[in-house]
Amino acid sequence: MAALPDAEKLCAQLVRALQGVVGPSTAMVGIHTGGAWVAERLHAALALKFPLGLLDPAFYRDDYAKQGLAKDPKRSKIPFDVEGKDLLLVDDVLYTGRTVRAAMNELFDYGRPASIALVVLAERDGRQLPVCAQHAGARVEVPAGMRLRLRRDAEGRLSLELERAA
Amino acid sequence: MRLLIKGGRVVDPASGRDALGDVFVADGRIAQPVGTPDRTLDARGLVVAPGFIDLAARLREPGYEYKATLESEMEAAVAGGVTSLACPPDTDPPLDEPGLVDMLRRRAKALSRARVYPVGALTVKLAGKQLTEMAELTESGCVAFSQANVALADTQVLWRALQYAATFGFPVWLRAEDAWLARGGVAHDGEVATRLGLAGIPAFAETIALAQLLELVRATGARVHVCRISSAAGVAMLRRAKHDGLPLTCDVGIHHLHLSEMDLGYFDSHCRLEPPLRSRRDREALAAALADGTIDCAVSDHTPVDEDQKLLPFGEAEPGATGLELLLPLALKWGMEMKLTLAQTLARITSGPARILGVASGRIEPGAPGDLVLFDPDAAWRATSAALKSQGKNTPFLGMELAGRVRATVVDGHVVHEA
Amino acid sequence: MPRNPQLNGNGELQHLLSIEGLPREILVKILDAAESFVGVTERDIKKVPLLRGKSVFNLFFEGSTRTRTTFEIAAKRLSADVINLNVAASSTAKGESLLDTVANLSAMQADIFVVRHGSSGAPFLVARHVKPHEHVINAGDGRHAHPTQGLLDLYTIRHYKKEFGGLVVAIVGDVLHSRVARSLIHGLTTLGVPEVRVIGPQTLIPAGASALGVRVFHSMREGLKDADVVVMLRLQNERMSGALLPSAQEFNKHYGLSLEKLALARPDAIVMHPGPMNRGVEIDSSVADGPHSVILPQVTFGISVRMAVMSMVAGGG
């Protein structure tokens, strides 16, 4: 099995890719928790005008009936007016697409953005919805029964890891 | 009719006898064996004791036939080994007229189960205003007079009622509960009622009424039996009063020997009783007082309640528990806890209440009425709705396993129940 | 003691009947979830699809427009369908029993019953008789409990004081008849508040109060000293004059919260009241509208707390 890509390098790569698309109405929203870590890096590096927004789409998930309320839902915070913005929606790993669906639903409850582009650190197979990333750092093969996770250590360094799916 | 009960462990609390042997019953009375018996009951492995005497069992007739009928409750009585029972006057209408008492006795007699001793109402409609015709009622069969659970708030009337009863020597059976202090209350005014937000009945609702009653007994010389004492403080007062020589007797509800306010759990309406289950300390005092003789006997306080009336929020649920069939197992459980002999334990539901009732039963000796019970003290059974003969399935012990099963009940020399 | 009927086999919240007996972790989880719902209530579109398609039956056997409305708003913000039943005026008047009413509504596919009843313990009875997928939330039963009010009080205290350790909380007034007080006391002791006090005349303090883990005071001067949080209880009109109290005026003089009495508490003390207030009886307007009062934020937090409770019970904990 190939080694997992270095998350720090992927971040840098994404920054380079995004520098070309940032405009005056560009704003960024990170999805809790891993997406928020990535978004913090990108947001700082790109020096965006609007403050970073954070989203926990726990209340919009479609697995609530099966799983119940997420363990520890975080408070969503969008400190700018969503109306008319070109949004960069940031997550760590794109898998089924359900989280992105929930996040977009929540975003529209804040207002009507001009556009949304999806930015992910890594994507893997297994899409269950017609969702694709406009900017993906890497494509990773994930063996059956495993899941890909982003971790952040005490020094704030990001790394990708494989772990057994629950 | 001659009945031979053979090879049982004969326990006679009145004499203290506890030995293997036979009991012979001829023409409704215990007798020396003569001639060939018409029937022989094999009592090997069983205890043979006098039939139990219960000073408080509601049969719900007349008036509350939807809760229970005389048929169902008389079956329950003999299934529980109860051969004599006194029924309180809180029927509908209350037992305040000779005609009603007469009818009840005749109906009960026709069923040929346990002996029924009606307790007449002390005041008309139990309303606490006008005395009933106690002499008439006594002639029609009332053995005592009572207010059941309806407090007599007017002390003037209470005083006069005791004077009048004392004049003729009629026994008066009263609960000690101050009507005003108990008003609106549904549980013991303590820790649990505070936690559950239930309106409380303080223990001093009992002691204040008891103090009043004791003074009136001193003043009138009435023969008073105090029903369903519930608090440690009440027990202490009775102990003193008896020591002072007042002519008092006293009983306790069998549930109060085992349960306390803690058993209310999450609003278990089966634990809604009158008087309320009090603290653990009160329960311990009651159990000890019954053992040391301060309390003379235990009663089932049998109160069948239909299920709908228990499927209500605690405070709205009808108070009371079914008890006739639990009297033996709960008495045995108490006796074990107090480390008493079987004879001592059974005395509280045989010879003890017999003395208060003034009847010759409750003992096994030649000439005594042929009222007997055969039971297996160790047989375990589960108190389920199906197992209970009473129409009332309302018991805090529902679904629990209890030890002590009646195998046969004999009333007046006839076998009226076998299991 | 039988198993706590509020929790399912996995120890998750199945019903919310009382704060008593709930483990600390569940209380904290409710407060945390409520915090994230506060974010939702601050948006333009104050609605999330969490309980879409679920039916919430507001079953009020005792009238209370305020409490019913807060549950209704909370349910609607979770996208649930809300059916309000003023049972006090309908079925019970026709002699239908509590359980019959519930069985009837259950046949209409309910998911959550929000029950208010005048008798202590009524929601426990309902919870024992609903189907496994149905949930019961106690919206106030007799004198027993008002757990969502208790939780919103806890939320408010945490919001302003951050931590529960080290706090002195004084609950003042008619504790005897107060389900709010009982719920709050259990919550505070579970979350580790070291000193919970109740203050009132003997007639309004229940017999077993100290068994609840509180200190009983009969004087405001002593009881309010160094308090971080002062919770004033509502005094019902019918109890203002009679055998419990001689008059509202005399109660106000001794136990009403005035600026002068509030000065005995810590300078940064907060003042709470479950509402509706009797101004000039248990609380003076100068306090109710003053800088220490957090009475209106309580109402706002109440919506989020009820959203959190509904989404936790309906989502299996």
Residue B301's alpha-carbon distances to B85, B108, B267, B328, B329, in angstroms, are 10, 19, 21, 13, 15
Where residue C63 falls among pLDDT bands split at 50, 70, 90?
confident
Helices B70-79/B98-110 angle, 10° precision: 60
The sign of the dihedral angle between the CA atoms of C91, C93, C94, C100 is: positive
Q: Mark C206-235 as b/e (b = at least 16 C-beta within 10 Å).
A: bbbbeebebebbeebeebbeebbbbbbbbb
Intrachain domains C24-144+299-314 and C147-295 with the same fold: yes
List Cβ neighbours of A55 (8 Å cut-off, separation of 6 or more): A29, A30, A31, A32, A76, A78, A103, A106, A107
How many structural domains does chain A have?
1
Determine the distance in angstroms separating the CA of C260 from the nearest CA of chain B, rounded to an integer: 32
Query: Stretch C1-8: mean pLDDT, rounded?
Result: 80
Report pLDDT for C39: 86
| Strand pairing class (A86-94; A135-139) | unpaired
Element (DSSP H or E) covering residue B23: strand B17-26
List the single residue in C with minimal CA-CA distance to B191. C208
CA dihedral A18, A21, A25, A27 (to 10 degrees): -20
Please, what sign has the CA dihedral across residues B226, B230, B234, B239? positive
Q: B14, C140, B282, B46: which is closest to B30 by C-alpha?
A: B14
Contacts A111 to C, Cβ<8 Å: 44
Range C147-295: architecture per CATH: 3-Layer(aba) Sandwich (3.40)
> Longest Cα pair distance anywhere in chain C, in angstroms?
56
B301 catalytic per annotation: yes
Contact B207, B240 (CB under 8 A): no
Nearest CA to CA, how far is A115 from chain C (Å)?
A: 19
Does residue A128 sit within a domain? yes
* Peptide bond preceding C92 in cis form (omega within 30 of 0): no
Cβ within 8 Å of C, A 121-160: none
CB-CB contact of B277 with B260 (8 Å): yes
Question: Which chain A residue shows the shortest CA-CA distance from C304?
Answer: A75
For B109, list phi and psi in degrees, rounded to 5. -65, -40
Instruction: Answer yes or no: are the C-beta atoms of C277 and C299 closer than 8 Å.
Output: no
pLDDT band at C2 (very low <50, low <70, confident <90, very high): low
User: Residue C9's pLDDT is what?
Assistant: 87
What the block records as the tokens of A100 is: 């992105």
The C-alpha angle C75, C84, C52, rounded to 5 degrees, equals 30
Instruction: Decide if B169 touches C, using CB distance below 8 A.
Output: no
Largest CA distance in chain B: 67
Residue C259 is classified by DSSP as H
Residues 6 or more apart from B37 whose CB is under 8 A from it? B2, B3, B4, B24
What is the distance, to the nearest Å, from the Cα of residue A54 to the centroid of all Cα atoms in its chain? 10
Cβ proximity of B213 and B226 under 8 Å: yes
Residue C52, token pair as written in the block: 């879409």
Structural element, H or E, at residue B407? strand B401-411
- pLDDT, tens digit only, all 419 positions of chain B: 899 999 999 999 999 999 999 999 999 999 999 889 999 999 999 999 999 999 999 999 888 888 888 999 999 999 999 999 999 999 999 999 999 999 999 999 999 999 999 999 999 999 999 999 999 999 999 999 999 999 999 999 999 999 999 999 999 999 999 999 999 999 999 999 999 999 999 999 999 999 999 999 999 999 999 999 999 999 999 999 999 999 999 999 999 999 999 999 999 999 999 999 999 999 999 999 999 999 999 999 999 999 999 999 999 999 999 999 999 999 999 999 999 999 999 999 999 999 999 999 999 999 999 999 999 999 999 999 999 999 999 999 999 999 999 999 999 999 999 99
Q: Which of B301, B306, B308, B378 is catalytic?
A: B301
How far is residue C182's CA from residue C34's CA, in Å, rounded to a whole number? 21
Which pLDDT belongs to residue B115?
97
Chain C residues touching residue B181 (CB < 8 angstroms): none
The Cα B384–Cα B380 span in angstroms is: 12
Residues of B in contact with C206 (CB under 8 A): 193-194, 200
CA B341 to chain centroid, in Å, comes to 21
Q: For residue B42, give the nearest of B22, B12, B27, B28 by alpha carbon.
A: B22
Is pLDDT of A90 > 80?
A: yes
C5, C141, C206: residue with CB nearest B194: C206
Chains near C (3 or more Cβ pairs under 8 Å): A, B
> Do C207 and B308 lie within an 8 Å CB cutoff?
no
Chains A and B touch (3+ CB pairs under 8 A): no
Looking at residue C273, the DSSP 8-state letter turns out to be -
Interface test with B, best of C125, C183, C185, C244 (most B CBs within 10 A): C125
B33 lies in a domain? Answer: no
C282 touches chain B (CB under 8 A): no
Exposed, middle or buried, A75 (CB in 10 Å: 0-12/13-18/19+)? middle
The dihedral built from the CA positions of residue B33, B39, B45 and B48, taken in this order, carries a sign that is negative
CB pairs under 8 A between B and C: 81
**Which position has the token pair 């952040």?**
A152
Within-domain flag for A55: yes
Residue contact B315–C142, C-beta within 8 A: yes
Q: How far is C50 from chain A (nearest CA, A)?
A: 5
A103 part of contact set with chain C, CB < 8 Å: no
Q: Which CATH number fits domain C24-144+299-314: 1.10.1240.10, 3.40.50.1370, 3.30.70.100, 2.60.40.1930?
A: 3.40.50.1370
C-alpha distances out from residue A52 to A64, B139, B340, B365, C41, Å: 27, 96, 79, 98, 20
Q: Are A29 and C17 in contact (CB under 8 A)?
A: no
Q: Which residue has the tokens 């059941």?
A: B148
* Model pLDDT, residue C90: 62
Confidence check: pLDDT of C317 > 50: no
User: What is the model's pLDDT at position C89?
Assistant: 63
How far apart (Å, rounded) are the C-alpha atoms in residues B168 and B166?
5
Assigned domain for A157 exists:
no
Q: How far is C75 from chain A (nearest CA, A)?
A: 13
Nearest to A125 by CA among A161, A92, A96: A96
The total of structural domains in chain B comes to 1
- Residue-range definition of the domain harbouring residue B106: 51-363+379-401
Q: For the packed helices C179-190 and C24-41, what is the interaxial angle rounded to 10 degrees?
A: 110
The CATH number of the domain where B121 resides is what? 3.20.20.140
Domain residue limits, chain C: 24-144+299-314, 147-295
Secondary structure, 3-state, chain A: CCCCCCHHHHHHHHHHHHHCCCCCCEEEEEECCHHHHHHHHHHHHHCCCCCCEEECHHHHCCCHHHHCCCCCCCCCECCCCCCCCEEEEEEEEECCCHHHHHHHHHHHHHCCCCEEEEEEEEECCCCCCCCCCCEEEEECCCCCCEEEEEEECCCCCEEEEEEECC
Which chain C residues touch A67 with a CB distance below 8 Å? Answer: 315
CA-angle at B58, arms to B53 and B60, nearest 5°: 145
CATH number at residue A57: 3.40.50.2020
Inter-chain CB proximity C121 and B193 less than 8 Å: no
Q: Tokens standing for B5?
A: 């009960």
Q: Is residue A101 assigned to a domain?
A: yes
Distance CA C313, CA C133 (A): 10
Answer yes or no: is A38 within a domain: yes
Whether cis (ω within 30° of 0) applies to the bond prior to A143 is no
Chain A interface disruption, residue of C16, C37, C50, most A CBs within 10 A: C50
- Crossing angle of the two packed helices C122-129 and C98-106, in degrees rounded to 10: 40
Whole-number pLDDT of residue A64: 80
Cβ atoms within 10 Å of B390's Cβ, excluding its own: 27
C-alpha distances out from residue B48 to A75, B16, C211, Å: 75, 13, 48
Are residues B84 and B361 in contact, defined by beta-carbon separation less than 8 angstroms?
yes
Q: Is residue B350 part of a domain?
A: yes
Domain housing A93: 26-143
Residue window 46-65, chain A: list those with CB within 8 Å of chain C.
56, 58-60, 64-65
Across chain C, mean pLDDT equals: 93
For B197, name the nearest residue in chain C, comparing CA atoms only.
Answer: C144
Interface with B, mutate which of C17, C87, C119 (most B CBs under 10 A): C119
Closest-CA residue of chain C to B202: C207
Do residue A59 and residue C49 have CB atoms under 8 angstroms apart?
yes
Residues B383, B398 contacting (CB under 8 angstroms): yes
Q: How far is CA B35 from CA A12, B42, B181, in A?
A: 114, 18, 62
Alpha carbons within 13 A on the beta-carbon side of B335: 21
Terminal Cα distance for chain A, rounded: 21
pLDDT value, residue C41: 86
Chain centroid to Cα A118, Å, comes to 7
Q: Is the pLDDT of residue A93 over 70?
A: yes
Tens of pLDDT, residue by residue over C188-210, are 999 999 999 999 999 999 988 99
Contacting residues for C294 by C-beta, under 8 A, at least 6 apart:
C156, C160, C270, C271, C272
Q: Is residue B42 part of a domain?
A: no
Residues C121, B313: C-beta atoms closer than 8 Å: yes
d(CA C228, CA A112): 44
Percent of chain A at pLDDT > 90 equals: 78
